[in-house]
Amino acid sequence: MTNNKNTLTGYYKESDEDLWLWDDIPELDMEVGYKVEALLHYERSPFQEISIVDTQGFGRMLVLDGTPQVTTKDGFIYNEMITHIAMTTHREPKRVGMIGGGDCGPSREALKYESVEQIDVVEIDQQVIEVCRRWMTKDSGDEREACIRMIYRDGYKWIQEQKNNLDVLLIDRSDPYGPATSLYKQQFYQYVYDSLTEDGIVVFQSGSPFYNTSILKNTVRSLSKLFPIVHPYVCSIPTFPGGIWSFVVASKKWDPLQADLTRLPCKDTKYIDPETFLASFVLPKYIKNILK
């Protein structure tokens, strides 16, 4: 496995030098390099190249096709921010769905709510789940993890079979290229709406509000056609290019800005608390202007 490193997407090693992982951000004509302490795992699944590395700066990292996805040092920010806004806003989420989120981070966040009875994690690539279980996610020993059901399918097909049965849905879609393209169609937003119960809530990861503003704009526009309550929100994730990242929450009944913040499981969070929850809806002026 430690041979042929130069042939893995994103990795580069010059003779006796250290191994580096290079993430290319074409929208910014920018590259970000991470010094790799150890390449722990590499495999090619039917969908993508999956690797796990240890880095000095960001700890252990899941990498797909050469792009860092989640790290042990800052992954808590993404996991908490995609999960708790909706889970706290809904008064009693029982059935939760997730499309993507293969590292299981968001599902563990969702389990912190006692009302939860079932979490369906829909991930097209079974190998991602298995690699994360082996290398990234320590066994929590929590009996409630039996609530988490893994479904190895295309999220676009799965969502069409869900009708009025999800209280909370989290959509951790990758960029709008390749297999994830369908998750950006207007029809997909309709399927999402139909999958939710009458007081259901959905959250979309919606890309960088700095260099990829069309994802955020289109997500807000598409959801606003269907849902009475739509709010973009942001947080800062150090391993994401540019740092600032956006999400959109859309809700049929409950407004996140009026959420009962005593529901937040603050004993077990590292990023979010009631103040941070509310501040995340305050968009810098240049982002407000994008959405005008």
Catalytic residue (choose from 54, 120, 172, 194):
172
Report if residue 284 touches a copy of itself, rule: CB under 8 A: yes
Amino acid at the residue 74? D
Residues at the binding site for S-methyl-5'-thioadenosine are 48, 123, 154-155, 179
| Smallest gap from residue 80 Cβ to a copy of itself (A) | 9
Report if residue 6 touches a copy of itself, rule: CB under 8 A: no
| Smallest gap from residue 165 Cβ to a copy of itself (A) | 33
Residue listed under structure tokens 């996805």: 69
| Smallest gap from residue 26 Cβ to a copy of itself (A) | 9
| Smallest gap from residue 23 Cβ to a copy of itself (A) | 10
**Region near a copy of itself per CB under 8 A, out of 133-141, 221-229, 253-261, 273-281:** 273-281
Is 172 a residue of the active site? yes
**Considering beta carbons, is residue 27 or 92 the nearer one to a copy of itself?**
27
Mapped onto helix, strand or coil, the DSSP state of residue 42 is strand
Instruction: Report 110-139 residues binding a copy of itself (CB under 8 A).
Output: none
Figure out which of the listed residues 188, 210, 227, 233 binds a copy of itself, where binding follows CB under 8 A: 210
Tell which residue, 122, 118, 110, 121, has the closest CA to residue 94. 118
Dihedrals phi, psi of 133, to nearest 5 degrees? -60, -40
Residues 64, 131: Cα–Cα separation, whole Å: 11
Instruction: Extract long-range pairs of 132-141: CB within 8 Å, 24+ residues apart.
Output: 132/62, 132/102, 132/103, 132/104, 133/104, 134/41, 135/40, 135/41, 135/52, 135/60, 135/62, 136/52, 136/60, 136/62, 136/70, 136/72, 136/103, 137/103, 137/104, 137/105, 137/108, 140/108
Provide the annotated active-site residues.
Answer: 172
Q: Which residues bind a copy of itself (CB under 8 A)?
A: 20, 25, 27-35, 55-58, 74, 76-77, 210-211, 234-238, 240-244, 266, 269-273, 275-276, 278-279, 282-286, 288-289
